[in-house]
Amino acid sequence: MQCNYFGICGSCRDYENGYEGQLEHKLSVVRETFAPFFRGEIEIVRSPQERFRSRAEFKVYHDEGGMSYAMNRMDRQGMLRIHECGIVAEPIAYAMKRLLPAISELGMGHKLFGADFLASGEGEVLVSLLYHRKLDDEWLALARRLEERLGIGVIGRSRGQKIVVSRDYVTETLRIAGRDYRYVHIENSFTQPNPRVNERMVEWSLAQLEGIGGDLLELYCGAGNFTIPFASRFERVLATEISKSSIAAARENMKLNGVDNIDFVRMSAEEFTMALDRVRVFNRMEGVDLDDYRLKTLFVDPPRAGLGEEPCAFASRFEHLLYISCNPETLARDLEILERTHTVSAMAAFDQFPYTHHLEMGVKLVKKEGVA
C-alpha cells in the first residue's frame, strides 16, 4: 500500500518494509513468545493490503481553509491533516470525499470535532458526527438532507445526546465455510474491523470445533460474530455478554440467520461463574436451565486484559478450550496457567490490523489425560 502519510500519521506505525515485512516482524515476536507452549506450525491469516477496515474514526480539523480530516501525529506533536486514508474500505473512502464538502455547504460544521464511520460490504455507510454543542431540530432537518444527498445513515452525538436520523446500524454479510451469514452491526458497539480476516478467523475456529459435539459455552460473545456459525457444530450454545446493545444485536442476528439453538444471556463472565456454581441466582437466567446443558467446550474472546487467574481456573474445567486473543502478551500469561491442565493442539495468527504492532491469536487447548 502506498500512503503519503506513512511516518507522520500515528495510525500506521510499522510500514517501512511493506505488508510482508510488517507481518514477518510481528510473527517473529509471537513465534518466540509462544515457543514454550507450542512447537507446531502457527497458521497465518493475512489481510488485504489496503481498503480492509470497515470502521474508522477521524478527527475534524478547522482552519481558514475550512474543514479537513485529521489524525494524531506519530511524534505526538499535535494533529496531521489528511485528505484520504488507504486502509478504510471503499464505501468509507467514497463517503469521506463527499461528507465534509456537503456538511460545509449545509452549514452543519459548527463545533464538529469528529466523524466515525461504519460500513458493510454491500456499501452501506453510517457516520456518527461528534459535536461540542447541543444539537437541535434545525440540525436534525439538515442531517436528513445530508442523508438524502449522500445516501448514508447519520447519527449526531454531543455530550448527553444521541440523535439517530434514520438508523443506527449497517447489515454485513460474511462468507464463512461456504455459507453466507448476516449480521447487524450497531453504531458504537464492538465489531471486528477487518471483514476478510474475520471470515478466516471464524473459519479457523470452526475447524477446531469439528467433531466435538455436546454443548458450547461462550463468554464475551459480543453480537454473536462467532456464536452464530458455532451453533452448527453443537447441539446447544449458551453465550454471555455484558453489553446490553450487543446482546440485543446478537438475538437479532440469530433470527437473521435462522438459528434457534442459542441462549444469549446478558451477564459478565464472573456473574455466569456464580450462576453455574449456584452461588447466586440471577433473574437474567430465567428460562435457562443449566442442568439441561452438557458443557464440555468453552470459547472465549476476552478484552485486551485477557482472562487472569480466576477465569483461567474456571476455563480449566472444560475438556476443550478455544481462545481468541487480541493481545499476545496477556494470552501468554494466561497460557502459563492453562498449560497446567491443558495442551495446546493448534495455534493461528490473524493480521487484523496491518501496519501496526497488533496481531490477534487463536489457540485450541485440550485437557491433558488424567487431569480432573
Q: What angle do CA 257, 225, 235 make, to 5 degrees?
A: 60
**Which H/E stretch holds residue 21?**
helix 18-34
Residues 6+ positions from 343 with CB-CB distance below 8 Å: 365, 366, 367, 368
Backbone angles phi, psi at 121, to 5 degrees: -65, -20
Q: In the annotation, is 326 catalytic?
A: yes
Catalytic residue among 3, 9, 85, 326: 326
Contact of 92 with 53, CB cutoff 8 Å: yes
Rounded Cα–Cα distance for residues 169 and 172 (Å) = 10
Residue 345 carries which side chain, given as an amino acid letter? S
Residue 37 in 3-state DSSP?
coil
Residue 5 in 3-state DSSP?
coil
Q: In the annotation, is 360 catalytic?
A: yes
Residues 6+ positions from 144 with CB-CB distance below 8 Å: 165, 166
Catalytic residue among 50, 199, 218, 360: 360
Contact of 135 with 144, CB cutoff 8 Å: no
H/E/C letters for each residue in 208-254? Answer: HCCCCCCEEEEECCCCCCCHHHHHHHCCEEEEEECCHHHHHHHHHHH
- Catalytic positions, written as ranges: 326, 360
